[in-house]
């Protein structure tokens, strides 16, 4: 049974890395289309004032707690989240599983050339994965049908969507009835890490829950966007109830 907590209205799954991975595999076994998101505090804050994003988060099949802020907020208000489960780690486990079980994937997103490079690196590491296709994430509205047809023609088991948040969440939700894949997962910047065009924070930053700080140091222009985290924490500290 799926268990979630609500943080400012957004459902977040109470999962560990292991149970999130188990759920992902179960979703792959179903005959219906499923989708998985990796929300952080920025997304949860955005969803409060963005109806279509909130709808997407509410209708997905799993929202893993990707942001350390969500876990801290849950601890402060005793909601029950267990640990941070990052999209990049879950994606790694899923890829390993795909290699072992010869499942197929498609990567949509990133700047031109990035999905291709990511696919190449994934194939090198996991030779048994069937990479059915890739496409960059800078297509125009009128190309939307072409993008979906391109995916459906090869019907991969898993579609990784890296259009940035909240675009990827809305895109998956909007096209949920048209996508001929088993599971779609919003993976944001993970495709850049796989391509080698971005680096993940060193282990010590990960362990201390300071990946946001590393990202701020590397990409200082994101400063404004990243204010979402301190704003969220202040709100959490002064709110009596963060669930509704």
- Contact footprint for ligand UDP (CB under 6 A): 109-111, 114, 137-138, 162-165, 167, 188-189, 191-192
Least distance (Å) from ligand UDP to the CB of residue 240? 30
Nearer to ligand UDP, 92 or 189 (CB): 189
| Residues linked to residue 158 through DSSP beta bridges, in sequence order | 105, 183
* Length, in residues, of the chain: 244
71: closest CA among 149, 157, 7, 159?
Answer: 7
Nearer to ligand UDP, 70 or 79 (CB): 70
Nearer to ligand UDP, 79 or 118 (CB): 118
SS3 131: strand
Backbone angles phi, psi at 28, to 5 degrees: -65, -25
Least distance (Å) from ligand UDP to the CB of residue 66? 10
Least distance (Å) from ligand UDP to the CB of residue 162? 5
For ligand UDP, the nearest residue by Cβ is 137
Nearer to ligand UDP, 137 or 156 (CB): 137
Checking DSSP bridges between strand 4-7 and strand 10-13, what pairing results, if any?
A: antiparallel
Least distance (Å) from ligand UDP to the CB of residue 189? 3
Least distance (Å) from ligand UDP to the CB of residue 80? 26
Nearer to ligand UDP, 82 or 213 (CB): 213
Q: What is the token pair recorded at 166?
A: 């909240």
Least distance (Å) from ligand UDP to the CB of residue 95? 17
Number of Cβ within a 10 Å radius of residue 37: 31
Residues 113 and 92: beta-carbon distance below 8 Å: no
Distances (CA, A) of 86 to 39, 65, 70: 9, 7, 12
Residues 42 and 183: beta-carbon distance below 8 Å: no
| Residues linked to residue 160 through DSSP beta bridges, in sequence order | 107, 185
H/E segment holding residue 231: helix 228-238
Nearer to ligand UDP, 100 or 138 (CB): 138
Checking DSSP bridges between strand 104-109 and strand 62-63, what pairing results, if any?
A: unpaired
């Amino acid at each position: 049974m799926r268990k979630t907590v609500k943080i400012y209205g957004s459902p977040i799954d109470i999962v560990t890395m292991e149970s999130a991975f188990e759920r992902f595999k179960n979703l792959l076994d179903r005959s219906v289309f499923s989708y998985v998101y990796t929300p952080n505090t920025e997304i949860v804050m955005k969803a409060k004032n963005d109806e279509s994003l909130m709808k997407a988060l509410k209708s997905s099949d799993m929202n893993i707690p990707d942001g350390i802020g969500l876990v801290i907020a849950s601890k402060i208000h005793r909601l029950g989240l267990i640990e941070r489960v990052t999209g990049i780690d879950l994606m790694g486990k899923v890829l390993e599983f795909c290699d072992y079980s010869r499942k197929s994937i498609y990567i949509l997103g990133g700047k031109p050339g990035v999905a291709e490079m990511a696919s190449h690196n994934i194939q090198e590491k996991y030779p048994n994965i069937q990479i059915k296709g890739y496409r960059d994430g800078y297509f125009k509205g009128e190309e939307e049908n072409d993008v979906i047809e391109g995916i459906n023609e090869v019907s991969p088991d898993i579609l990784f969507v890296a259009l940035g948040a909240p675009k990827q969440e809305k895109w998956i939700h909007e096209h949920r009835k048209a996508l001929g894949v088993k599971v779609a997962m919003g993976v944001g910047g993970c495709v850049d890490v796989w391509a080698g065009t971005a680096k993940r924070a060193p282990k010590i930053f990960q362990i201390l829950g300071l990946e946001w700080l590393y990202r701020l140091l590397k990409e200082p222009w994101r400063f404004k966007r990243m204010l979402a985290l301190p704003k969220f924490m202040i709100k959490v500290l002064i709110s009596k109830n963060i669930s509704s």
